[in-house]
Amino acid sequence: MLALAWEPIVDLALAEDLSSGDLTTEACIAPDARAVAHAVARGPMVACGADVFARVFAKIDPHVSFEAHVAEAAGVEWGARLWTVRGRARSLLMGERTALNFVQRMCGIATVAREYVSKLPQGSRTRITDTRKTTPGLRALERYAVRCGGAHNHRDNLGSAVLIKDNHVVAAGSIAAAIDRAREGSPHTTKIECEVDTLEQLDEAIAAGADSVLLDNMDTATIQEAVARARGRVVLEASGGVTLARVRELAETGVDAISVGALTHSAPAADIGLDFETK
Amino acid sequence: MLALAWEPIVDLALAEDLSSGDLTTEACIAPDARAVAHAVARGPMVACGADVFARVFAKIDPHVSFEAHVAEAAGVEWGARLWTVRGRARSLLMGERTALNFVQRMCGIATVAREYVSKLPQGSRTRITDTRKTTPGLRALERYAVRCGGAHNHRDNLGSAVLIKDNHVVAAGSIAAAIDRAREGSPHTTKIECEVDTLEQLDEAIAAGADSVLLDNMDTATIQEAVARARGRVVLEASGGVTLARVRELAETGVDAISVGALTHSAPAADIGLDFETK
Amino acid sequence: MLALAWEPIVDLALAEDLSSGDLTTEACIAPDARAVAHAVARGPMVACGADVFARVFAKIDPHVSFEAHVAEAAGVEWGARLWTVRGRARSLLMGERTALNFVQRMCGIATVAREYVSKLPQGSRTRITDTRKTTPGLRALERYAVRCGGAHNHRDNLGSAVLIKDNHVVAAGSIAAAIDRAREGSPHTTKIECEVDTLEQLDEAIAAGADSVLLDNMDTATIQEAVARARGRVVLEASGGVTLARVRELAETGVDAISVGALTHSAPAADIGLDFETK
Amino acid sequence: MLALAWEPIVDLALAEDLSSGDLTTEACIAPDARAVAHAVARGPMVACGADVFARVFAKIDPHVSFEAHVAEAAGVEWGARLWTVRGRARSLLMGERTALNFVQRMCGIATVAREYVSKLPQGSRTRITDTRKTTPGLRALERYAVRCGGAHNHRDNLGSAVLIKDNHVVAAGSIAAAIDRAREGSPHTTKIECEVDTLEQLDEAIAAGADSVLLDNMDTATIQEAVARARGRVVLEASGGVTLARVRELAETGVDAISVGALTHSAPAADIGLDFETK
Amino acid sequence: MLALAWEPIVDLALAEDLSSGDLTTEACIAPDARAVAHAVARGPMVACGADVFARVFAKIDPHVSFEAHVAEAAGVEWGARLWTVRGRARSLLMGERTALNFVQRMCGIATVAREYVSKLPQGSRTRITDTRKTTPGLRALERYAVRCGGAHNHRDNLGSAVLIKDNHVVAAGSIAAAIDRAREGSPHTTKIECEVDTLEQLDEAIAAGADSVLLDNMDTATIQEAVARARGRVVLEASGGVTLARVRELAETGVDAISVGALTHSAPAADIGLDFETK
Amino acid sequence: MLALAWEPIVDLALAEDLSSGDLTTEACIAPDARAVAHAVARGPMVACGADVFARVFAKIDPHVSFEAHVAEAAGVEWGARLWTVRGRARSLLMGERTALNFVQRMCGIATVAREYVSKLPQGSRTRITDTRKTTPGLRALERYAVRCGGAHNHRDNLGSAVLIKDNHVVAAGSIAAAIDRAREGSPHTTKIECEVDTLEQLDEAIAAGADSVLLDNMDTATIQEAVARARGRVVLEASGGVTLARVRELAETGVDAISVGALTHSAPAADIGLDFETK
């Protein structure tokens, strides 16, 4: 994960918390006191965000050293020691909250993603994917967390793939016209996905040369029929109202991808503590 | 809510989604097509974020006009129309996801906050407060959402109040020493709060002149006793392991504030749709 | 063309030229003197960049008004009046060079692009495309200029499509392995293009499911054979050593796209003057 | 060349290409794979931009090491190895295009500049200079490239010297009045140059105390006469319609400087490849 | 003093002075020449700003080394060597003015602050404090300088404490109403200070539960009376028209704090030279 | 004065004071309350900074209107009304301190500058100039204030003119060598000033073709002699230890410029109040 894509949000977060200093730490902790702090999982979770955790402290103080105890994307149990930072006690205390705010969110998303993936039938080729329903400013980090959880990403942003929705179809006049316009207006390296509500629209999208089709809010039987009609010709994505409970039956239809907004917009924070050893 | 405190995160969010343009919209929607889009609640919620919603579209296109149908902080039912934007169809489609990503999070937090507040006994003077466990980059917006939900804010950042925790006490040698150092090192306009685990520590903090005391992870009976010992001399805050179910009994102890990290770190997004009228 | 994608480079350009003010204009021109300035083509060209031209002056002085005399992407002859700005004479003189530096480059690229497109046989479905060999900081503007010239864009950046090159193949072990890894690692909305040097590699790429294939530095006869083998199954792009003189013969092979780095890395500036009327 | 003057454009360029990551490289190249890459001249050129080349990779990955094989501003032949970077293969592949986009432009400008300088008569004291017709955002780098080519810079921006043009003269009432106002309004450390179209204007500018005079679009005979009138009293610059073919005859007039916009606005990119050794 | 709070102003200052390079130094000093430069006090002063001094040079050239000869906040005499930087002569010359502009201001403020503090009676518990009348962009540095001088800070900004002034009282209807609203609208960790002009207002503020009271422009006798009325119940701050000459008599009233805008808005720069040893 | 040169420092200053909101104003002032506020001189001064004053409020709230009662650079007496802002009471209260911090500094500098200028003999052609000893981040504003006071600017930054100092001379080997190198390395539009300590050095600098010479810390008789030797051939600047009392005698030597660091580094803030009318 390339740091330049997420350093702006780290800078913004540090400015929020530290632009007026840390009154308590500056008053109570000697400048030369040193400490060690361990990030510890307070529940089972998928570990995610080591680089961000390390960078928060490094931005405060380049002399803080960092050590990881688990691999990125590893599943860990309650009590697992994830990462350790060592250095000036002031620097560790100043970065604690900001670092945790990042990784609790990232581990939370990775954990939810893995839960969804675990519901797929053994050997399934269906993907669980995220959406663009990410936290403002955190998209790169949240997409990374989704991958750590074993799920896949959807398009990154409005310029990285075409996704024709109902308003685009209405404006273009028809699904076929919208796909033609999109193909003409996009690089030849861009895939064109089209959202459909009915099997008739699916047929129209396939005929017009869509690369993939988003089946919006369809029941399982209809998705099954869509797979039968389309397989081998377009990639199919099921979307809308996906719950953990429904993942297995959706995947069993043979759909290629199931997109789940809740991976990013509603994942609860993972519980991680920072335990200090003072020396 | 002063825009200059949250414009950086709006800029960052727009850059994430739109820095490569919107391939679909530019291909399918005529530059001069106009549209109207209504933000609609897809469930009961507290309305929050009108200014941010409007600003996202205004940053894309200063000619988009905005209208609010409900007051900030109003509780609304399923189906309520919250806000309307009017202008170039391209501009509305380009801003849709970013605008919703902001307000779904803000309404989600405001809604959870109000739920906690609703558990307080009639006439209670106890506050529900947030913590610094906010989303990186969104602190100003999330604190605002907490207020819209009827809860209160805790300190904004490490420079706006003193909060002495166990590591500070250990480093200073005692609670009294930590409070003395903090008082000497801080402006006379700064309050000093001290976290305690026991009633003995509470007594020590009061004797040393703390302005407020955070009772960390105490059971209700101990908190009750703390209130009895302290009332009138310091502000008391209960913290740690607070659930909706426990709010009432905590408040009935007469504690001044109950802080809840989950208000911001784990509130699920509110479900809001953007319904387009094309003309 | 969404302004937020190119405002940073406008700000940077204005800072370069004006961060120490304009000694001459401030000394010689009265603050309230008004003027009109017309951008005039000093040769035949494709008009491109009206929004950028206007924005440069608006950043200096929001009261400068702007008028376009030709449509974006229109071909114009020597002497054509392109755009007019009106306002404080100081503001027009201060913005002159920066505004021209942008549009001379944009019109230059659009003009070269149109020249390449004009060499395509009548009715050809082959595209001329740009590459990522753009001027640092100006990618969005230069890609737009390419489109104004009637050519098409290639992928925007390293995250918007997969393009497997020789080093990737070597690292993955084979073309097939590289394509498999890329498919697994990318969103289902991402196209996979693979660069090949031989027809055998082309076959391998098609068999592995590439969406498009870049034929690197092949002679025309080989490209012809590639088209025969591949048509209907993958998109084919010819690349490397493309000159104006060779466009027609390449297009006649039926290749889908011809990419030309020179569109952006070596287009000479179009000659545009700014004629002042002082009043 | 001080890095802080050009780091903003390096950041902008990296954001353009890498803000969504590098899908291909992340999928195909193992995180710990290492590589060596050599920048090689694919034609004769003036080497220019080693610091920028190195910095692009260092911004992606501070552990990439850099080695230069030629001195800045050295002339090299086809096939010359210019610079080598060593480190993680991913980092080298991610930075390749951005690094080359910078140095191809810089070497291109340095090469053109040297070509102009080579046309000066043996022992000539005439300077070839650039203008403010630089690429937006790249002024510091392009001015440096001009110097590497052996040419000189003109004023950096509108605040670093006075250059009185026709509109300033009209507004001030006369050349003399414009020069007086400029002298009064500028630091005593600022030179005043005045653009003239005729020898009469030249006389007026000299009489008014101009430090240098720009002879705009004059034929060679007139320039010769201008030199005769002015030598020893002001610096003379010939400008407008300067081609390679005309440099010698212009220099032989004894004019002090010849400014050439084409050095920066239309220099074709130098052809530089990046050859990878994978290990 | 956390660097991230003041790096933006260092960047801005360097851009002001160096964004067009250093013509003199680049022309006259060989790139590999090395030098040593000593910051020397040209008068008695309080040393302040070592980190900022070092950082200015480090931003220009990370290989410049730094050494401090005196502790921060130490009082020094004429001729004292404060700090030494070693490295490339070019880097030292380029950073000289910017580094001195920072530390001359910081030492100047620290020196004035110490002068005020020195006027307090032996053993006094009264504080001298700054105000928000700081130089735009330099607040963090100037507040730090105040502390180095032995004085204290007032609230950092409009969000770090409540300070009710006359306009707020008028708008709220009364002092009591303003204090009630402020208490309700602020975190429980926020102190509420109220400005008063009369002893009656002081009584009202105390009764309403103010944490501290600012006595605005009162004569010494009135302040004495205020202290008598208030001691033990609120913190009292004297403000307005405070001169060095009046500090002692004000402190003898027993007031808790005396705020002095002149500490930051009008402190003359300390005289510091940078003496070069060239080797 | 072009706003883009000073908007960054306005943004920084507003962020310092308002990034956590304004607790007092938000609690006490109704959102729709309106007010009028008048900036009033609390002493004689030179008015300076109307644009900055207006911009601070406009950044907080674009609906605040602004009116100037005096011309920029006008001298005013105690009690003069300078500027008025009208709009939401909250916006005026939030901007008050930041706006005043700017203009008190600017008026202070303009006032001191005028005082120095007033000491020049009647009809003198000698200039009072500033130096680069400006407040970090405020250079453009402080140079403007110097001009409002009737004084002149020195070079803006290290790239806008050459100023050869002792270290440059030592490194180059001699004054003549330093001047030659500087001339070769600088644009022909750049003036070359050389600092000298003795009349012999002055002769050497003139002989080498310096455009101006800085006479460093010379006594008045020596300056007189320097003027006699140099007049008509170079511009002469007296520098070092200039006090108000010495201006007249220095100017009477006929020196062209007298530079005074104290104009910017030690000017006391002008006293300006903001008087509110609430309606």
Q: Is the pLDDT of residue B277 over 90?
A: no
**Does A4 contact chain D (CB < 8 Å)?**
yes
Candidates F163, F186, F191; nearest CB to D190: F191
pLDDT given for residue A277 in this prediction: 87
The one catalytic residue among A34, A81, A133, A183:
A133
Distance of residue A20 Cα from the nearest chain E Cα, in angstroms:
7
Q: pLDDT (tens digit, 9 = 90+) per residue, A180-230?
A: 999 999 999 999 999 999 999 999 999 999 999 999 999 999 999 999 999
Q: Can you name the residues that pair with B108 across neighbouring β-strands?
A: none
Tell me how far apart the alpha carbons of residues E159 and B121 are, in angstroms, rounded to a whole number: 30
Q: Which chain C residues contact residue B11 at CB under 8 A? A: 4
Task: Report residue D225 as tokens.
Answer: 């006469």
Query: D: neighbours with 3+ CB pairs under 8 Å?
Result: A, B, C, E, F
**Does D155 contact chain F (CB < 8 Å)?**
yes
Read off the amino acid at residue C266: S
Task: Report residue F141 as tokens.
Answer: 């504003």
SS (H, E, C) chain C: CCHHHCHHHHHHHHHHHHCCCCHHHHHHCCCCCEEEEEEEECCCEECCCHHHHHHHHHHHCCCCEEEECCCCCCEECCCCEEEEEEEEHHHHHHHHHHHHHHHHHHHHHHHHHHHHHHCCCCCCCCEEECCCCCCCCCHHHHHHHHHHCCCECCCCCCCCCEEECHHHHHHHCCHHHHHHHHHHHCCCCECEEEEECCHHHHHHHHHCCCCEEEEECCCHHHHHHHHHHHCCCCEEEEECCCCHHHHHHHHHCCCCEEECCHHHHCCCCCCEEEEEEEC
Contact A192, C211 (CB under 8 A): no
Catalytic residues of D: 97, 133, 165, 195, 216
pLDDT given for residue F65 in this prediction: 98
Q: What is the pLDDT along chain F (279 residues), one digit of tens a residue?
A: 889 999 999 999 999 999 999 999 999 999 999 999 999 999 999 999 999 999 999 999 999 999 999 999 999 999 999 999 999 999 999 999 999 999 999 999 999 999 999 999 999 999 999 999 999 999 999 999 999 999 999 999 999 999 999 999 999 999 999 999 999 999 999 999 999 999 999 999 999 999 999 999 999 999 999 999 997 799 999 999 899 999 999 999 999 999 999 999 989 999 999 999 865
When pLDDT is averaged across residues E71-90 and rounded to a whole number, the result is 98
**Does C140 contact chain B (CB < 8 Å)?**
yes
Q: pLDDT (tens digit, 9 = 90+) per residue, D198-224?
A: 999 999 999 999 999 999 999 999 999
When pLDDT is averaged across residues D68-74 and rounded to a whole number, the result is 98
pLDDT given for residue A1 in this prediction: 80
Instruction: For A49-118, give the DSSP string.
Output: -HHHHHHHHHHH-TT-EEEESS-TT-EE-TT-EEEEEEEEHHHHHHHHHHHHHHHHHHHHHHHHHHHHHH
Total Cβ atoms within 10 A of residue D73 = 16
Task: Report residue F32 as tokens.
Answer: 């729709």
Residue owning tokens 């004035």: E112
User: What band does C278 get if pLDDT is binned at 50, 70 and 90?
Assistant: low
Contact D201, F201 (CB under 8 A): no
Q: pLDDT (tens digit, 9 = 90+) per residue, E99-127?
A: 999 999 999 999 999 999 999 999 999 99
pLDDT given for residue E241 in this prediction: 85
Tell me how far apart the alpha carbons of residues A37 and E103 are, in angstroms, rounded to a whole number: 35
pLDDT given for residue E1 in this prediction: 80
What's the whole-number average pLDDT of chain B? 96
**Residue C228 vs residues C129, C175, C206, C215, C223: alpha-carbon distances, Å:** 22, 21, 13, 13, 9
DSSP A276: E
**Does residue F119 carry a catalytic annotation?**
no
User: What band does C176 get if pLDDT is binned at 50, 70 and 90?
Assistant: very high
DSSP E254: T
**Does F187 contact chain B (CB < 8 Å)?**
no
Q: Determine phi and psi for A104, rounding to 5 degrees.
A: -65, -35
pLDDT given for residue B231 in this prediction: 75
Helix (H, G, I), strand (E, B) or coil at F277: strand
Alpha-carbon torsion A42, A44, A46, A47, what sign?
positive
Contact B270, B104 (CB under 8 A): yes
Helix (H, G, I), strand (E, B) or coil at A34: strand
DSSP E52: H
**Does residue E216 carry a catalytic annotation?**
yes
Contact E208, E180 (CB under 8 A): yes
SS (H, E, C) chain D: CCHHHCHHHHHHHHHHHHCCCCHHHHHHCCCCCEEEEEEEECCCEECCCHHHHHHHHHHHCCCCEEEECCCCCCEECCCCEEEEEEEEHHHHHHHHHHHHHHHHHHHHHHHHHHHHHHCCCCCCCCEEECCCCCCCCCHHHHHHHHHHCCCECCCCCCCCCEEECHHHHHHHCCHHHHHHHHHHHCCCCECEEEEECCHHHHHHHHHCCCCEEEEECCCHHHHHHHHHHHCCCCEEEEECCCCHHHHHHHHHCCCCEEECCHHHHCCCCCCEEEEEEEC
Q: Which chain A residues contact residue D20 at CB under 8 A? A: 5, 140, 156-157, 160
Q: Is the pLDDT of residue E76 over 60?
A: yes
Distance of residue C150 Cα from the nearest chain D Cα, in angstroms:
22
Tell me how far apart the alpha carbons of residues D18 and F14 are, in angstroms, rounded to a whole number: 32
**Residue D7 vs residues D2, D4, D55, E21, E155: alpha-carbon distances, Å:** 9, 5, 9, 13, 36
When pLDDT is averaged across residues B142-168 and rounded to a whole number, the result is 97
- Percent of chain A at pLDDT > 90 equals 97
Q: pLDDT (tens digit, 9 = 90+) per residue, A55-114?
A: 999 999 999 999 999 999 999 999 999 999 999 999 999 999 999 999 999 999 999 999
Closest CA to C144 of C14, C59, C264, C240: C264
The one catalytic residue among E125, E165, E233, E248:
E165
Q: Is the pLDDT of residue D110 over 80?
A: yes
Beta carbons of B156 and E161 less than 8 Å apart: no
When pLDDT is averaged across residues B243-263 and rounded to a whole number, the result is 97
User: What band does D95 get if pLDDT is binned at 50, 70 and 90?
Assistant: very high
- Percent of chain B at pLDDT > 90 equals 97
Task: Report residue F134 as tokens.
Answer: 């400006």
**Does residue E119 carry a catalytic annotation?**
no
Contact B202, B230 (CB under 8 A): yes
Helix (H, G, I), strand (E, B) or coil at A198: coil
Tell me how far apart the alpha carbons of residues D168 and D174 are, in angstroms, rounded to a whole number: 9
When pLDDT is averaged across residues D112-136 and rounded to a whole number, the result is 98
Q: Which chain B residues contact residue A278 at CB under 8 A? A: 167, 170-171
Closest CA to D208 of D186, D226, D223, D193: D193
Q: pLDDT (tens digit, 9 = 90+) per residue, E192-225?
A: 999 999 999 999 999 999 999 999 999 999 999 9
Q: Can you name the residues that pair with D127 across neighbouring β-strands?
A: D257
Tell me how far apart the alpha carbons of residues B240 and A53 are, in angstroms, rounded to a whole number: 23
pLDDT given for residue B278 in this prediction: 61
What's the whole-number average pLDDT of chain A? 96
User: What band does B279 get if pLDDT is binned at 50, 70 and 90?
Assistant: low
pLDDT given for residue D1 in this prediction: 80
pLDDT given for residue F279 in this prediction: 55
Q: Residues D14, D19, D22, CA angle at the centre, nearest 5°?
A: 90
Beta carbons of E4 and A14 less than 8 Å apart: yes
User: What band does E278 get if pLDDT is binned at 50, 70 and 90?
Assistant: low
Tell me how far apart the alpha carbons of residues F253 and A81 are, in angstroms, rounded to a whole number: 78
Task: Report residue B192 as tokens.
Answer: 């000093």
Beta carbons of C4 and B94 less than 8 Å apart: no
Closest CA to B230 of B265, B259, B200, B260: B200
Alpha-carbon torsion D113, D116, D118, D123, what sign?
negative
Q: Residue A215: enclosing H or E segment and its boundaries?
A: strand A212-216
Q: ipTM score of the complex?
A: 0.96
**Does F201 contact chain D (CB < 8 Å)?**
no
Q: Determine phi and psi for A47, rounding to 5 degrees.
A: -75, 135
pLDDT given for residue B232 in this prediction: 78
**Residue B11 vs residues A119, B3, B274: alpha-carbon distances, Å:** 37, 12, 21
When pLDDT is averaged across residues A165-178 and rounded to a whole number, the result is 95
Q: pLDDT (tens digit, 9 = 90+) per residue, D156-171?
A: 999 999 999 999 999 9
User: What band does D279 get if pLDDT is binned at 50, 70 and 90?
Assistant: low
The torsion region of residue F79 among left (phi > 0), alpha (psi -120 to 50) and beta comes to left
The CB-based long-range contact list for C152-155 (8 Å cut-off, 24+ gap) reads: C152/A187, C152/A188, C152/C127, C152/C128, C152/C257, C153/A186, C153/A187, C153/C129, C154/A187, C154/A188, C154/A189, C154/C129, C154/C130, C154/C257, C154/C259, C155/A187, C155/A189, C155/A190, C155/C193
Read off the amino acid at residue C117: V
Q: pLDDT (tens digit, 9 = 90+) per residue, C120-142?
A: 999 999 999 999 999 999 999 99
